[in-house]
Structure 1
Amino acid sequence: MTTIRTYILRASVVGLMLFLFGCASYNDRITPYYKNISAGNYTEAQKELDKNSLIQKPRNKLLFLMEKGRVSHLLGDYENSNRYFNEADQLLEIGLTGTLDATVGVLVNPMTQRYKGEDFEKFMIHYYKALNYLYLHQTDEAVVEARRISLQTQEQNDKFNNKDKRYAQDAFSLTLQGMIYESNNDINNAFISYRNAVEIYQKSPDKTYYGTQMPLGLQKDVIRTAYLNGFTSEAVQFENAFGIKYKPEKAPEGGELIFFWENGLAPVKTQEDLFFTLTRGDGGNLFFTNAGGGLLIPFIYSGDRDKFNISAVESLRASFPKYIAQPSSYSSAVIKGVQGDINLEKTEDINVLAFRTLQQRTLNEMSKVLSRLAVKKVAEFALRESAKRDNQKNNSLLEGLGYGIQLYSLLSEKADTRNWQSLPANISYARIPLKTGENEITIALKNAQGAEETKTIKVNGNGRIQFYNYSTLR
Structure 2
Amino acid sequence: MKKWLLIPLFSLLLSGCAFNSIFINYPSQIAPVKAQLNTSEPIKGIDEIVDNISGADGLLYAQEAGRVAQIAGDFEASKLFYQDAADDYLAFDDQATLSASEIGATASSLFINDNVIPYRGPGYERIMLHQYQALNYIFSGDKEGALVEVRRSNDLQSSEQAKYQKSNESVQAIANGTIDTEMNKLGEAAGSVTSSFLNAYSYYITGVLHEVLGEPNDAFIDYRKAAQISPNNPYIQKDLVRLAKQLSMPQADEFEKRWGKAQVAKKGQGQVIMLLERGFVDEKQSLTVPFRVDGSWQTVSLATYPLNSHPVPKGKIKGLGKTLTAAPIANIDALAMTALKEELPAALVRQAARAYAKAEMAKSVRSESKSRNNETDFGSIAMQIFNVITEQADRRSWLTLPKQAQIARTYLNQGEYSIQLDNSAPNTIEVKSGRTTLVWVIDTGNYTRFYSIII
- Distance in 2, Cα, partners of 1:222 & 1:89: 32
Equivalences for residues 253-402 of structure 1 within 5 A: 253-277=268-292, 312=294, 314-324=296-306, 331-362=313-344, 364-389=346-371, 392=372
Q: 1:338 to 1:470 in 2, by over 3 A?
A: closer
Which residue matches 2:443? 472
Query: Deviation of residue 227 (structure 1)?
Result: 2.5
Indicate yes or no: 2:227 matched with 1:198.
Answer: yes
Matched residues, number: 394
Q: Bigger CA drift: 370-379 or 423-432? A: 370-379
CA offset digits 1:123-160 (Å, max 9, x no partner) = 22122111111111111111111211221111221123
Instruction: Calculate percent identity across the aligned residue pairs.
Output: 22
| Aligned 8 A contact 2:42 2:71 in 1 | yes
Which of 386, 399, 410 matches 1:432? 410
Which of 161, 165, 172 matches 2:201? 172
Q: 1:444 to 1:117 in 2, by over 3 A?
A: same
Which residue matches 1:150? 154
State the superposition RMSD in angstroms: 3.2
Query: Deviation of residue 408 (structure 1)?
Result: 4.3
Indicate yes or no: 2:134 matched with 1:130.
Answer: yes
- Distance in 2, Cα, partners of 1:37 & 1:430: 24
CA offset digits 1:279-318 (Å, max 9, x no partner) = xxxxxxxxxxxxxxxxxxxxxxxxxxxxxxxxx2554211
Q: 1:95 to 1:352 in 2, by over 3 A?
A: same
Q: What code does the residue aligned with 1:95 have?
A: F
Q: What code does the residue aligned with 2:71 have?
A: L
Q: Secondary structure at the match of 2:288?
A: strand
Return 5+ residue gaps in structure 1 as ranges. 8-20, 202-206, 208-213, 279-311, 446-451
Which residue matches 1:235? 252
- Distance in 1, Cα, partners of 2:428 & 2:311: 21
**TM-score using structure 2 length:** 0.77
Which residue matches 2:387? 409
Return 5+ residue gaps in structure 2 as ranges. 6-20, 168-192, 446-455
Q: What code does the residue aligned with 2:442 have?
A: S
| Aligned 8 A contact 1:269 1:322 in 2 | yes
Q: Secondary structure at the match of 2:56?
A: helix
- Distance in 2, Cα, partners of 1:22 & 1:102: 13
Which residue matches 2:427? 456
Indicate yes or no: 2:420 matched with 1:443.
Answer: yes
Q: What code does the residue aligned with 1:185 have?
A: G
| Aligned 8 A contact 1:316 1:374 in 2 | no
Q: Quick check: which has more Rg, 1 or 2?
A: 1
- Distance in 2, Cα, partners of 1:431 & 1:313: 63
Q: Secondary structure at the match of 2:393?
A: coil
Query: Deviation of residue 69 (structure 1)?
Result: 0.7
Q: Secondary structure at the match of 2:284?
A: strand
Q: 1:200 to 1:254 in 2, by over 3 A?
A: same
Equivalences for residues 105-120 of structure 1 within 5 A: 105-120=109-124
Query: Deviation of residue 271 (structure 1)?
Result: 2.3
| Aligned 8 A contact 2:196 2:336 in 1 | no
Indicate yes or no: 2:418 matched with 1:421.
Answer: no
Query: Deviation of residue 362 (structure 1)?
Result: 3.6
Which of 218, 224, 233 matches 1:215? 233
Query: Deviation of residue 184 (structure 1)?
Result: 0.9
Q: Secondary structure at the match of 2:198?
A: coil
Q: 1:72 to 1:359 in 2, by over 3 A?
A: same
Q: Bigger CA drift: 108-117 or 357-366? A: 357-366
Q: What code does the residue aligned with 1:417 have?
A: R
| Aligned 8 A contact 1:107 1:372 in 2 | yes
Q: 1:411 to 1:444 in 2, by over 3 A?
A: closer
Query: Deviation of residue 185 (structure 1)?
Result: 1.0
Q: What code does the residue aligned with 2:136 have?
A: N
Query: Deviation of residue 322 (structure 1)?
Result: 2.7
Which residue matches 1:304? none
Which residue matches 2:87? 90
Which of 104, 107, 124 matches 2:108? 104
Q: 1:365 to 1:329 in 2, by over 3 A?
A: closer
Query: Deviation of residue 418 (structure 1)?
Result: 1.3
Query: Deviation of residue 385 (structure 1)?
Result: 2.2
